[in-house]
Amino acid sequence: MDSLIELFCDVDDFCQSFLPVWRKQLLSAGEMQRQRERSLSVSEIMTILIHFHQS
Protein backbone atom coordinates (compact mmCIF):
# COMPACT_ATOMS: atom_id res chain seq x y z
CA MET A 1 0.00 0.00 0.00
CA ASP A 2 1.46 3.28 -1.06
CA SER A 3 -0.65 5.63 0.99
CA LEU A 4 -2.76 5.60 4.09
CA ILE A 5 -5.78 6.85 2.13
CA GLU A 6 -5.47 3.98 -0.35
CA LEU A 7 -5.23 1.52 2.54
CA PHE A 8 -8.31 3.02 4.17
CA CYS A 9 -10.30 2.81 0.93
CA ASP A 10 -9.42 -0.86 0.50
CA VAL A 11 -10.27 -1.70 4.11
CA ASP A 12 -13.50 0.30 3.95
CA ASP A 13 -14.56 -1.51 0.76
CA PHE A 14 -13.91 -4.82 2.49
CA CYS A 15 -15.89 -3.77 5.57
CA GLN A 16 -18.82 -2.59 3.45
CA SER A 17 -19.15 -6.06 1.94
CA PHE A 18 -18.14 -8.21 4.94
CA LEU A 19 -19.92 -6.62 7.92
CA PRO A 20 -23.55 -7.03 6.73
CA VAL A 21 -22.97 -10.74 6.06
CA TRP A 22 -21.22 -11.17 9.40
CA ARG A 23 -23.99 -9.36 11.30
CA LYS A 24 -26.61 -11.53 9.59
CA GLN A 25 -24.69 -14.63 10.68
CA LEU A 26 -24.53 -13.36 14.27
CA LEU A 27 -28.28 -12.76 14.30
CA SER A 28 -29.05 -16.24 13.04
CA ALA A 29 -26.63 -17.89 15.48
CA GLY A 30 -28.17 -16.09 18.47
CA GLU A 31 -24.89 -14.42 19.41
CA MET A 32 -25.87 -10.83 18.66
CA GLN A 33 -24.83 -8.40 21.34
CA ARG A 34 -25.68 -4.80 22.01
CA GLN A 35 -24.30 -2.37 19.42
CA ARG A 36 -22.84 0.71 21.09
CA GLU A 37 -22.04 3.91 19.25
CA ARG A 38 -18.33 4.19 18.48
CA SER A 39 -16.16 7.19 17.95
CA LEU A 40 -14.23 5.27 15.23
CA SER A 41 -15.68 2.99 12.57
CA VAL A 42 -14.54 -0.61 12.18
CA SER A 43 -12.72 0.28 8.97
CA GLU A 44 -10.85 3.12 10.72
CA ILE A 45 -9.76 0.80 13.54
CA MET A 46 -8.64 -1.87 11.07
CA THR A 47 -6.72 0.72 9.03
CA ILE A 48 -4.85 1.92 12.12
CA LEU A 49 -3.93 -1.66 13.08
CA ILE A 50 -2.78 -2.61 9.58
CA HIS A 51 -0.77 0.59 9.18
CA PHE A 52 0.86 0.04 12.58
CA HIS A 53 1.95 -3.48 11.62
CA GLN A 54 3.26 -2.32 8.24
CA SER A 55 5.43 0.41 9.73
Distances (CA, A) of 30 to 14, 21, 23, 55: 24, 14, 11, 38
Tens digit of each residue's pLDDT (9 = 90 or more) over 1-43: 579 999 999 999 999 999 888 888 876 666 666 667 779 999 9
13 in a domain, yes or no?
A: yes
pLDDT of residue 5: 94
54 occurs within a structural domain? no
The domain of 45 spans 1-17+41-49
Number of domains in the chain: 1
